[in-house]
Every structure is written in structure tokens, then in C-alpha cells.
Amino acid sequence: MVLEDTARRIRTMEIRGAGRIARAAAEALRDHAAALQCTNLEEFRQEMHRAATILTETRPTAVSLPNAVRFVISRMDASDSAEEARTTLMESADEFISRSHQAVDMIAEYGSRAIPEDSVIMTHCNSEVAVATAVKAWEKGRVREAFATEVRPRNQGYITAKALGDAGIPTNFIVDSAARYFMRDIDVVITGADAVTGAGAVVNKIGTSQIALAAHEARVPFLVTTETYKFAPGTLLGDRIPIEERPPGEVMGDDITAGMPNVRVRNPAFDVTPAAYVDMIVTEAGAIPPGMAYVIIRDYLGWKPDVWQKNFLIDHKE
């Protein structure tokens, strides 16, 4: 089924990138709702909530995933019939997907304006919005050269380097540990985000915080490009964003580890960059300092403490 296949592809990182994951989840919910042969409203609701749970459990760190699922599912609960619920859910999914694509274009435009003329940029991981921003800045003549990190252990940097190169940008491909060495040549660092906390800290691919620290030390501006649906309302309740730790085989093959019984391979997929190392967060709602993250959560994600507190308690009770 489409639902299970999408969940598998998200879990195994065949679908990667927070925005793409969110859109894939919305599409899976829409297609699952369309395929359901169910005329009972309560049964339809229960099945769609089950489907939502399957999707949200695939990647624990990417806040875009539960936010997308919540957007698609939430309006369904006010329906009076299964058919109305189905129609409402499918319309919500299409609306989310459309908004997501529009957000990428808007962020690229806003972010490109924040890049100085004749800049050498550095980026880490494969962020749809970061790449779009770099390409837009290149088209405006603001970018002269780019540095793309390897992004171990899954090597998403290959995808980024190819995308930048295909756009015509002279691109240098470097290993992650060379980021500080080349920071002296960089005018601005641009990354994406998998989540942004209410305090403005940024959760992104492992290694991002080290690059942010190197940029901070060198006084190089550090820009984060991200859609508003990657902000995490639960952090305002003290909730912590879990850092996913992936299988050791992504780092070192089982044939190698078998010969080292006393060696444990650790493979966290993300790290947290403190707000103090972030100069600007560029969203489709505009460019903000990290300290304004709360405003995005309140005004664009509909933050209401009583509602979110209720949902938070229900989630933990279950």
C-alpha cells in the first residue's frame, strides 16, 4: 500500500529532506483517504489517525513531519460524515503541498537578498531551501563560488554539490572536517533546518553545530533557511526534540565491526545549533532573528497553550 511504502521510504531515507518528507506524508494521507472503502465516520477517523501515527513514527527528529500530518488531519475531525471528512482531508493535503512549494520559492527570494554581492558561500547537508536560495542568489549575481560539505555518513553533500554545479555555480566539494580550514574563504554560511525550537535553536544534520561554531569564531554570518512548519510548538511546553540515532552500518560495515568487539559505533543523525550562533532565520514569513521564533509559532502555527497542552498530555498518556 502507498501508506506503508511511503513510511518505509521515509524511514530508510529514500525520501530525505524535511520539506520533501512533509509533502510525501501529506500525499500518503491523501491517497490513503481516497482509497479507503469506509462509510462510517468514526471508523474513517480512527483509520486516518492510525495512518498518521505510522507516518509520524518514521523519523522522530524532523518536526516538519508531525506538523504536516497535524495540518492534514486536524480539519477532518469537525466533519459530520465520512465523505465530508475524506474530502476535507484531501483538500487539506493538497493545500499543504501547494503551500510547501510556494514557501520554497519565497524563502529563496528572501534569502538571496541577504547574501552580499560577490559572495563565497558554504552549505551543509542537502537542504531544498538552502540550495534554492543559493541558486537564486547565483542568478542575481550575488554568489561567486560555493563550498559543499560531504555530510557523512549518508553523503547527502553529493546531491547538494551536483545541484549547485548543475546550476552553473563553481562548487568545491570538501569533507566535513575541512569546514573550519576553509571558513577563512567564506562570506556566508547557508543551511536548512529539520526543526527550530521556541528559543531559536536549530536542529539540523549532524555537523551543523560545528560549522556554526567555526562561522561564529570567524565572524562569518550563519543563515538558516526553513519553512515555518519546521518550527516546534511543543518546545514551548518544555518538550525536547529527540535526536535520532541511526544504524551503525551507515558509518561502518558489519564486516568491519565484527572484528572489533569492544568498539561501539554511534551514529546520531542531527545536532542542535544554539541560537547564539545563528544570525538569521529566513522563512516564507520573512527573515527573523532567532529570538523571534516564538512569533512564528504563535502567528503561523496557531499556538494556543491550552490546546497544545491538551494534545501534549494525551500523546504522553497514550
Q: Which residues are catalytic?
A: 125, 194
Cα 277 from Cα 292, distance rounded (Å): 15
* Selection from 274, 275, 254 nearest residue 263 by Cα: 254
Q: Which residues pair with 147 in a beta bridge?
A: 122, 172
Output DSSP code: residue 231.
B
For 26-48, letters b (16+ CB in 10 Å) and e give: bbbbbbbbeeeebeebeebbebb
Cell of 6: 511511503
Give the strands of the sheet with 202-205, arranged side by side.
195-196, 202-205, 270-273
Please tell me whether residue 235 adopts helix, strand or coil conformation. helix
Q: Is the peptide bond before 242 cis (omega within 30 degrees of 0)?
A: no
| φ and ψ at residue 191, rounded to 5 degrees | -130, 170
Half-sphere exposure of 299 (CA within 13 A, CB side): 9
Contact present, 227 and 283 (Cβ < 8 Å):
yes
Amino acid letter, residue 151: V
Cα 189 from Cα 221, distance rounded (Å): 6
How far CA 169 is from CA of 31, 173, 226, in Å, comes to 38, 12, 22
Please tell me whether residue 289 adopts helix, strand or coil conformation. coil
Contact present, 88 and 76 (Cβ < 8 Å):
yes
User: For the chain, give me the number of helices (H) and strands (E)?
Assistant: 12, 10
